[in-house]
């Protein structure tokens, strides 16, 4: 069974027609917020995914709010089988603000008088209890999910670091040139910024520092911040400079964007270094609140604030490291296998040497005190939607909450006090937050 995803449709009637045409019951869908234009499956869960994706047979359920069009013209849309689609003369504007590693409950613990800008967007918009992100709850995988609506097994960016057996190469997020190579990112999934650009009719996209945004995808070259080499080196770029850049893109006189992504590396980095319970996390959030205030001011100065829809969210949350580890050197001979890790000693993929797969798997099964052991093709990995991709190795290890997986060398050097990567269904602390504001909310 698969989910029918819906392209950007600015008309409620056409949305219902498309659902009926595809055998979906419109009565089982509901409007998100006060939007009259985009439908989401009814659910009793208060947490939800929220991206717009396109029609696909391998997708997580993801949606994006779409604004009302006051004036419209018509164009032919052949691919969905309808003669006309209403689009606005004045393009709808959407700004997607991504704050890395922002746990769903961080705001609740703070002095609310010190976060007036977060409070403004919550009080005048909507806030979800949390977002149900994907496994593994790491940055590159979830950022691509945010932009495509696909699970990691479908968009192919399965971890921060991953091995591709066809290329016989490993992608490492820290290697600069790999971040410019489409082969790592253009694997079937189409980011919303690419979809927006391909739609034409004066639609343009701009992305500030989001992981995976440097390489062309589907032949699309969106606007990027030229020195946005790597997501984890961006803390040197001032927040206000990022905001000024994306505002300038929205007001550009020749080719203004109508969809923008604005990325901030905190509170993720501080969460790793100091742990999610540290007061330093609170200080970083106060800094982000100041950035939101500056963003509000710039939008108002340029007459955009009442026209734009804003989503503020994150890729994952954070868990406190419990100083517990699974040492593979005490379980297996290193000559029997090699590993692919996401870089923080959490989810680890195992590549057994030829003829050793059964031995490695059965040996690992005997040592599950601090980890879950999955074999490719198993029901567990299929349930996690982390199975059907060549970049997923024969054995996948997931540590239990607060644990890490490593060997004598990596465990001895491990210094992080905060972790993520765990299955969000098992560990709710890795779920991020979600706020939306605008005329369509």
Which tens digits make up the pLDDT trace of 358-416?
Answer: 999 999 999 999 999 999 999 999 999 999 999 999 999 999 999 999 999 999 999 99
Instruction: Look at residue 3 in the predicted model and tell me its pLDDT.
Output: 30
- Residues marked active site are found at 139
Res 31 pLDDT > 70: no
Q: What is the mean pLDDT of residues 226-248?
A: 74
Instruction: Look at residue 235 in the predicted model and tell me its pLDDT.
Output: 55
Average pLDDT, the chain: 82
Q: What is the mean pLDDT of residues 266-292?
A: 98
> Which ranges in the chain are annotated with CATH 3.40.720.10?
93-320+427-437
**Do 317 and 103 touch, CB atoms closer than 8 A?**
yes
Superfamily of domain 93-320+427-437: Alkaline Phosphatase, subunit A (3.40.720.10)
Res 131 pLDDT > 80: yes
Res 2 pLDDT > 90: no
- Residues 298, 299, 303, 305, Cα dihedral to 10°: -150
Res 76 pLDDT > 70: no
Instruction: Look at residue 341 in the predicted model and tell me its pLDDT.
Output: 75
The lowest-confidence range among 51-65, 209-223, 286-300 is 51-65
> Which ranges in the chain are annotated with CATH 3.30.1360.180?
324-415
Query: Residue 97 in 3-state DSSP?
Result: strand
Instruction: Look at residue 30 in the predicted model and tell me its pLDDT.
Output: 39
How confident is residue 155, by pLDDT bands cut at 50, 70 and 90? very high
Instruction: Look at residue 55 in the predicted model and tell me its pLDDT.
Output: 31
**Do 254 and 233 touch, CB atoms closer than 8 A?**
no
Instruction: Look at residue 176 in the predicted model and tell me its pLDDT.
Output: 82
How confident is residue 328, by pLDDT bands cut at 50, 70 and 90? very high
Q: How far apart (Å, rounded) are the C-alpha atoms in residues 95 and 205?
A: 10
Instruction: Look at residue 420 in the predicted model and tell me its pLDDT.
Output: 97
Instruction: Look at residue 211 in the predicted model and tell me its pLDDT.
Output: 80
Instruction: Look at residue 35 in the predicted model and tell me its pLDDT.
Output: 34
Q: The domain 324-415 is classified under which CATH number: 3.40.605.10, 3.30.565.10, 1.10.3860.10, 3.30.1360.180? A: 3.30.1360.180
- 36, with CB counted inside 10 A (0-12, 13-18, 19+), is middle
How confident is residue 8, by pLDDT bands cut at 50, 70 and 90? very low
Q: What is the mean pLDDT of residues 216-222?
A: 91
How confident is residue 225, by pLDDT bands cut at 50, 70 and 90? confident
Residues 6+ apart with CB under 8 A from 36: 12, 68
Res 316 pLDDT > 50: yes
């Amino acid at each position: 069974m698969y989910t029918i995803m819906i392209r950007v449709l600015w008309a409620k009637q056409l949305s219902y027609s498309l659902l009926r045409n595809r055998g979906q019951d419109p009565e089982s869908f509901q409007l998100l917020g006060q939007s009259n234009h985009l439908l989401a499956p009814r659910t009793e869960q208060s947490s939800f995914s929220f991206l717009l994706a396109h029609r696909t047979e391998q997708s997580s359920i993801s949606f994006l709010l779409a604004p009302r069009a006051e004036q419209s013209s018509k164009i032919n849309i052949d691919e969905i089988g309808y003669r006309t689609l209403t689009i606005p003369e004045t393009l709808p504007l959407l700004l997607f603000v991504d704050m890395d590693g922002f746990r769903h409950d961080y705001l609740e613990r703070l002095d609310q008088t010190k976060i007036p800008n977060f409070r403004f967007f919550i009080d005048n918009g909507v806030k979800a209890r949390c977002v149900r992100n994907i496994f593994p709850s790491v940055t590159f995988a979830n950022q691509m999910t945010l932009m495509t609506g696909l699970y990691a097994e479908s968009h192919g960016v399965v971890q921060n670091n991953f091995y591709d057996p066809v290329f016989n190469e490993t992608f490492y997020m820290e290697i600069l040139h790999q971040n410019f190579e489409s082969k790592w990112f253009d694997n079937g999934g189409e980011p919303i910024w690419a979809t927006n650009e391909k739609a034409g009719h004066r639609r343009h996209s701009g992305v500030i520092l989001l992981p995976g945004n440097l390489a062309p995808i589907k032949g699309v070259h969106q606007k990027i911040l030229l020195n946005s080499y790597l997501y984890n080196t961006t803390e040197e770029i001032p927040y206000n400079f990022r905001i000024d850049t994306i505002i300038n893109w929205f007001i550009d006189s020749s080719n203004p964007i109508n969809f923008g992504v604005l990325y901030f590396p905190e509170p993720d980095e501080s969460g790793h270094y100091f742990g999610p319970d540290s007061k330093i996390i609170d200080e970083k959030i106060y800094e982000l609140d100041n950035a939101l205030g500056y963003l509000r001011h710039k939008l108002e100065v340029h007459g955009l604030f009442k026209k734009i829809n804003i989503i503020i969210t994150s890729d994952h949350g954070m868990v406190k490291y419990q100083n517990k580890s699974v040492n593979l050197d005490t379980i297996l001979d290193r000559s029997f296998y090699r590993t692919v890790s996401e870089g923080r000693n959490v989810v680890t993929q195992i590549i057994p040497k030829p003829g050793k797969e059964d031995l490695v798997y059965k040996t690992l099964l005997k040592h599950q005190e601090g980890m879950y052991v999955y074999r490719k093709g198993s029901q567990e990995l299929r349930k996690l939607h982390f199975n059907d991709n060549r970049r997923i190795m024969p054995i996948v290890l997931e540590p239990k909450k607060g644990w890490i997986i490593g060997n004598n060398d990596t465990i001895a050097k491990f210094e992080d006090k905060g972790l993520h990567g765990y299955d969000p269904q098992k560990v709710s602390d890795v779920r991020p937050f979600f706020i939306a504001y605008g005329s369509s909310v």
